Amino acid sequence: MEQIQLKNAKGATKERKRLGRGQSSGLGTTSGKGNKGQQSRKGYSRKVGFEGGQMPLFRRIPKRGFNNGLFKKVYQEVDAEALNMFDNNSIVTNLDLFEKNLIKNSEKPFKILGNGEIKKNLSIQLRTIKNGKKRVSFDKITKSSKDMVEKSGGKVVLS
């Protein structure tokens, strides 16, 4: 027996009633929507959370806590160990990190973390943005990873 030959047992499935196909179909005329009113009209859909005019649950329960999600800064993380894939005495920019697939988006900020060790002499270029009269670092580097870069003979440059 093959899968194509399998059939449901008699009475296991029931054909659905089609709406608006004459009065004798059982769901003709008003198509099960009742008589008149907003709910009987085409295109009507009840709002999510609507409880028939009663004060909805989401308004009955008090607001709690604080959410700063809209303004939260999310950094793409790069381990210091991963920077060893660059050549000695090279300048590492956000585009270089993107080309080596260390970050997923070259436009978003990244942060170099102090996991592992840097064994090569690298110059890491961090982008800055103007905030009023002063320039603020757009990309970040941890103190431990900055120390590692300087210890291996490299430097961290703000552009």
Evaluated on CA atoms 91, 85, 80, 121, the torsion sign reads negative
Q: Confidence class of residue 9 from pLDDT cuts 50, 70 and 90? A: very high
**Percent of the chain residues past pLDDT 90, beyond the cut:** 75
| CB-based contact 104:75 (threshold 8 Å) | no
Q: In what helix (H) or strand (E) does residue 158 lie, and over which residues does it extend?
A: strand 155-158
Average pLDDT over residues 141-146: 94
What secondary structure letter does DSSP report for 132? T
- Indicate the domain borders of the chain: 76-158
State the Cα–Cα distance between residues 114 and 146, nearest whole angstrom. Answer: 8
pLDDT higher than threshold 90 for residue 13: yes
**CATH code assigned to 76-158:** 3.100.10.10
- To the question of pTM greater than 0.75 for the whole model, the response is no
pLDDT, residue 129, reads 87
3-state helix, strand, coil in the chain (%, to 5): 20, 20, 60
**Percent of the chain residues past pLDDT 70, beyond the cut:** 100
State the Cα–Cα distance between residues 93 and 104, nearest whole angstrom. Answer: 14
